[in-house]
Amino acid sequence: MTKPALSAEPAPSFRPLYLQIKDLLVRSLETGEWRPGEAIASELVLASRFGVSQGTVRKALDALAADHLVVRRQGKGTFVATHTEEAQSSFRFLRIRQDGGSELPASRLLDVRRGKASAEVARLLEVKPGDPVVVVRRVLEWGGRPVIVDDITLPAALFRGLTRAKLESYAGSMYGFFETQFGVRMLNAQERIKAVPADPATAGVLGVPAGTPLLAVDRVAHTYGGRPVEYRRGLCSTAAHHYFNVLG
Protein backbone atom coordinates (compact mmCIF):
# COMPACT_ATOMS: atom_id res chain seq x y z
CA MET A 1 0.00 0.00 0.00
CA THR A 2 1.40 3.42 -0.97
CA LYS A 3 2.05 5.76 1.93
CA PRO A 4 1.48 9.52 1.67
CA ALA A 5 4.43 11.91 1.61
CA LEU A 6 5.28 13.98 4.66
CA SER A 7 3.49 17.01 3.29
CA ALA A 8 0.22 15.04 3.22
CA GLU A 9 0.37 14.15 6.93
CA PRO A 10 -0.09 16.55 9.86
CA ALA A 11 3.18 17.51 11.50
CA PRO A 12 4.38 20.09 14.01
CA SER A 13 5.83 23.28 12.57
CA PHE A 14 9.11 25.08 13.39
CA ARG A 15 10.89 21.94 14.59
CA PRO A 16 13.88 20.10 13.11
CA LEU A 17 12.72 17.80 10.36
CA TYR A 18 13.99 14.64 12.05
CA LEU A 19 11.91 15.48 15.15
CA GLN A 20 8.84 15.88 12.95
CA ILE A 21 9.54 12.42 11.52
CA LYS A 22 10.04 11.10 15.06
CA ASP A 23 6.61 12.47 16.05
CA LEU A 24 4.99 10.77 13.05
CA LEU A 25 6.68 7.47 13.92
CA VAL A 26 5.53 7.75 17.53
CA ARG A 27 2.00 8.23 16.22
CA SER A 28 2.36 5.04 14.18
CA LEU A 29 3.57 3.18 17.26
CA GLU A 30 0.68 4.53 19.30
CA THR A 31 -1.88 3.37 16.75
CA GLY A 32 -0.32 -0.10 16.63
CA GLU A 33 1.03 -0.03 13.09
CA TRP A 34 3.99 -1.99 14.49
CA ARG A 35 3.48 -4.03 17.63
CA PRO A 36 6.02 -4.46 20.46
CA GLY A 37 8.82 -6.74 19.32
CA GLU A 38 8.06 -6.31 15.60
CA ALA A 39 10.47 -4.87 13.04
CA ILE A 40 9.43 -1.50 11.65
CA ALA A 41 9.88 -0.49 8.03
CA SER A 42 13.42 0.05 6.77
CA GLU A 43 15.07 3.46 6.59
CA LEU A 44 14.70 3.48 2.81
CA VAL A 45 11.01 2.65 2.97
CA LEU A 46 10.38 5.29 5.63
CA ALA A 47 12.37 7.89 3.69
CA SER A 48 10.16 7.24 0.66
CA ARG A 49 7.02 7.26 2.78
CA PHE A 50 7.73 10.67 4.31
CA GLY A 51 9.55 12.20 1.35
CA VAL A 52 12.77 12.89 3.28
CA SER A 53 16.37 11.68 3.16
CA GLN A 54 17.50 8.40 4.66
CA GLY A 55 19.81 10.37 6.97
CA THR A 56 16.83 12.27 8.40
CA VAL A 57 15.02 9.00 9.07
CA ARG A 58 18.14 7.58 10.69
CA LYS A 59 18.32 10.55 13.09
CA ALA A 60 14.63 10.11 13.93
CA LEU A 61 15.14 6.42 14.67
CA ASP A 62 18.20 7.18 16.78
CA ALA A 63 16.08 9.62 18.81
CA LEU A 64 13.41 6.95 19.28
CA ALA A 65 16.09 4.51 20.43
CA ALA A 66 17.38 7.07 22.94
CA ASP A 67 13.85 7.25 24.35
CA HIS A 68 13.72 3.41 24.58
CA LEU A 69 10.84 3.25 22.10
CA VAL A 70 12.75 1.16 19.56
CA VAL A 71 15.81 -1.09 19.56
CA ARG A 72 18.41 -0.86 16.78
CA ARG A 73 19.96 -4.24 15.90
CA GLN A 74 23.03 -4.21 13.69
CA GLY A 75 22.36 -6.01 10.42
CA LYS A 76 18.76 -6.85 11.37
CA GLY A 77 16.87 -3.57 11.48
CA THR A 78 14.89 -1.53 13.99
CA PHE A 79 12.38 -3.18 16.32
CA VAL A 80 9.67 -1.83 18.59
CA ALA A 81 10.97 -2.04 22.14
CA THR A 82 9.15 -4.41 24.45
CA HIS A 83 9.15 -5.13 28.17
CA THR A 84 9.18 -8.86 27.40
CA GLU A 85 12.65 -9.01 25.82
CA GLU A 86 14.98 -9.51 28.75
CA ALA A 87 15.06 -9.48 32.52
CA GLN A 88 16.96 -6.19 32.80
CA SER A 89 14.35 -4.30 30.77
CA SER A 90 11.69 -5.47 33.23
CA PHE A 91 13.32 -3.26 35.87
CA ARG A 92 14.31 -0.30 33.67
CA PHE A 93 12.58 2.16 36.02
CA LEU A 94 13.79 0.52 39.24
CA ARG A 95 16.39 2.68 40.98
CA ILE A 96 16.86 0.65 44.16
CA ARG A 97 20.17 -1.22 44.18
CA GLN A 98 21.73 -3.77 46.48
CA ASP A 99 24.73 -2.48 48.43
CA GLY A 100 27.78 -4.00 46.75
CA GLY A 101 25.70 -6.26 44.47
CA SER A 102 24.01 -6.39 41.09
CA GLU A 103 21.35 -9.07 41.67
CA LEU A 104 17.89 -8.40 40.23
CA PRO A 105 14.91 -8.79 42.56
CA ALA A 106 12.17 -11.38 42.51
CA SER A 107 8.53 -10.24 42.64
CA ARG A 108 5.94 -11.81 44.94
CA LEU A 109 2.29 -10.86 44.54
CA LEU A 110 0.41 -10.02 47.74
CA ASP A 111 -3.00 -8.77 46.61
CA VAL A 112 -5.13 -7.46 43.73
CA ARG A 113 -8.21 -5.46 44.62
CA ARG A 114 -10.69 -2.98 43.17
CA GLY A 115 -11.14 0.51 44.53
CA LYS A 116 -12.00 4.11 43.75
CA ALA A 117 -9.56 6.87 42.92
CA SER A 118 -8.86 9.30 45.72
CA ALA A 119 -8.53 12.98 44.87
CA GLU A 120 -4.72 12.66 44.82
CA VAL A 121 -4.66 9.50 42.69
CA ALA A 122 -7.24 11.04 40.33
CA ARG A 123 -4.99 14.07 39.89
CA LEU A 124 -1.93 11.95 39.18
CA LEU A 125 -3.70 9.59 36.75
CA GLU A 126 -5.81 12.35 35.20
CA VAL A 127 -9.10 10.61 35.97
CA LYS A 128 -12.08 11.72 38.04
CA PRO A 129 -12.19 11.25 41.82
CA GLY A 130 -14.16 8.09 42.51
CA ASP A 131 -13.36 6.50 39.14
CA PRO A 132 -12.69 2.75 39.45
CA VAL A 133 -9.07 1.67 39.85
CA VAL A 134 -7.21 -1.60 40.27
CA VAL A 135 -4.64 -1.77 43.07
CA VAL A 136 -1.88 -4.37 42.92
CA ARG A 137 0.30 -4.95 45.99
CA ARG A 138 3.53 -6.88 45.68
CA VAL A 139 6.87 -7.24 47.43
CA LEU A 140 10.29 -7.21 45.74
CA GLU A 141 12.83 -9.52 47.31
CA TRP A 142 16.60 -9.83 46.95
CA GLY A 143 17.86 -13.29 47.88
CA GLY A 144 14.52 -14.05 49.53
CA ARG A 145 14.74 -10.94 51.69
CA PRO A 146 11.81 -8.50 51.32
CA VAL A 147 13.05 -4.99 50.51
CA ILE A 148 10.25 -3.08 48.72
CA VAL A 149 6.49 -3.11 49.14
CA ASP A 150 4.87 -1.76 45.96
CA ASP A 151 1.31 -0.45 45.78
CA ILE A 152 0.47 -0.07 42.08
CA THR A 153 -2.70 1.81 41.14
CA LEU A 154 -4.09 1.50 37.61
CA PRO A 155 -7.15 3.06 35.92
CA ALA A 156 -9.64 0.20 35.68
CA ALA A 157 -10.88 1.40 32.28
CA LEU A 158 -7.53 0.43 30.73
CA PHE A 159 -7.12 -2.84 32.62
CA ARG A 160 -10.51 -4.52 32.35
CA GLY A 161 -10.42 -8.12 33.49
CA LEU A 162 -7.18 -7.84 35.45
CA THR A 163 -7.35 -10.42 38.22
CA ARG A 164 -4.93 -11.98 40.65
CA ALA A 165 -5.26 -15.32 38.88
CA LYS A 166 -4.32 -13.82 35.51
CA LEU A 167 -1.37 -11.93 36.96
CA GLU A 168 -0.07 -14.98 38.82
CA SER A 169 -0.36 -17.19 35.74
CA TYR A 170 1.75 -14.80 33.62
CA ALA A 171 5.39 -15.92 33.50
CA GLY A 172 7.00 -12.58 32.62
CA SER A 173 7.35 -9.18 34.25
CA MET A 174 4.46 -7.02 35.38
CA TYR A 175 5.12 -4.46 32.67
CA GLY A 176 5.29 -7.30 30.16
CA PHE A 177 1.89 -8.42 31.44
CA PHE A 178 0.42 -4.95 31.00
CA GLU A 179 1.87 -4.74 27.49
CA THR A 180 0.86 -8.16 26.16
CA GLN A 181 -2.50 -8.56 27.90
CA PHE A 182 -3.84 -5.01 27.82
CA GLY A 183 -1.82 -3.24 25.13
CA VAL A 184 -0.53 -0.66 27.62
CA ARG A 185 3.19 0.05 27.29
CA MET A 186 4.97 2.06 29.97
CA LEU A 187 7.35 4.42 28.18
CA ASN A 188 8.72 6.77 30.82
CA ALA A 189 8.19 7.72 34.42
CA GLN A 190 8.59 10.54 36.91
CA GLU A 191 9.56 9.89 40.52
CA ARG A 192 9.77 11.74 43.79
CA ILE A 193 11.34 10.35 46.95
CA LYS A 194 11.13 11.11 50.66
CA ALA A 195 11.72 9.37 53.98
CA VAL A 196 8.66 8.06 55.85
CA PRO A 197 8.12 5.87 58.95
CA ALA A 198 7.01 2.28 58.34
CA ASP A 199 3.32 1.72 59.05
CA PRO A 200 2.52 -1.52 60.92
CA ALA A 201 1.29 -3.43 57.82
CA THR A 202 4.33 -2.55 55.72
CA ALA A 203 6.66 -3.18 58.65
CA GLY A 204 5.19 -6.67 58.97
CA VAL A 205 5.85 -7.49 55.31
CA LEU A 206 9.40 -6.12 55.40
CA GLY A 207 10.22 -7.65 58.78
CA VAL A 208 11.21 -4.35 60.42
CA PRO A 209 9.84 -2.57 63.50
CA ALA A 210 6.96 -0.19 62.95
CA GLY A 211 8.27 3.36 62.64
CA THR A 212 11.51 2.28 60.94
CA PRO A 213 12.57 4.92 58.39
CA LEU A 214 11.76 3.79 54.85
CA LEU A 215 12.36 5.43 51.50
CA ALA A 216 9.05 6.21 49.78
CA VAL A 217 9.39 6.29 45.98
CA ASP A 218 6.31 7.71 44.26
CA ARG A 219 6.26 7.03 40.51
CA VAL A 220 3.86 7.99 37.76
CA ALA A 221 4.44 6.06 34.53
CA HIS A 222 3.24 7.28 31.14
CA THR A 223 2.38 5.70 27.83
CA TYR A 224 2.24 7.32 24.39
CA GLY A 225 1.25 10.98 24.30
CA GLY A 226 2.40 11.48 27.89
CA ARG A 227 -0.77 9.83 29.22
CA PRO A 228 -0.36 8.70 32.86
CA VAL A 229 -1.40 5.06 33.24
CA GLU A 230 0.18 3.94 36.51
CA TYR A 231 0.75 5.40 39.96
CA ARG A 232 3.11 3.39 42.11
CA ARG A 233 4.31 3.91 45.67
CA GLY A 234 7.26 1.80 46.72
CA LEU A 235 8.22 1.66 50.38
CA CYS A 236 11.85 0.56 50.57
CA SER A 237 14.05 -0.70 53.37
CA THR A 238 17.51 0.78 52.93
CA ALA A 239 19.34 -1.33 55.52
CA ALA A 240 21.25 -3.08 52.71
CA HIS A 241 19.98 -1.17 49.66
CA HIS A 242 20.19 2.34 48.24
CA TYR A 243 18.63 4.59 45.61
CA PHE A 244 20.83 5.01 42.51
CA ASN A 245 20.32 7.20 39.46
CA VAL A 246 22.40 8.49 36.57
CA LEU A 247 22.04 12.17 35.77
CA GLY A 248 22.90 13.78 32.47
For 39-51, how does the pLDDT look when each residue is reduced to its tens digit (9 = 90+)?
A: 999 999 999 999 9
HSE, CB side, 13 Å, CA atoms: give it for residue 110.
Answer: 18
188 contact partners, CB below 8 Å, separation of at least 6: 67, 68, 221, 222
Q: How confident is the model at residue 104 (pLDDT cuts 50, 70, 90)?
A: confident
Q: Using the 8-state DSSP alphabet, how is residue 3 labeled?
A: P
Per-residue model confidence (pLDDT) at position 4? 47
For 179-221, what is each residue's pLDDT tens digit? 889 989 888 899 999 999 999 999 999 999 999 999 999 999 9
Domains of the chain: 6-80 (1.10.10.10), 87-243 (3.40.1410.10)
User: Whole-angstrom Cα distance, residue 13 to residue 20?
Assistant: 8
Could you read off the pLDDT of 225-236 as tens digits, one per residue?
889 999 999 999
pTM of the model: 0.79
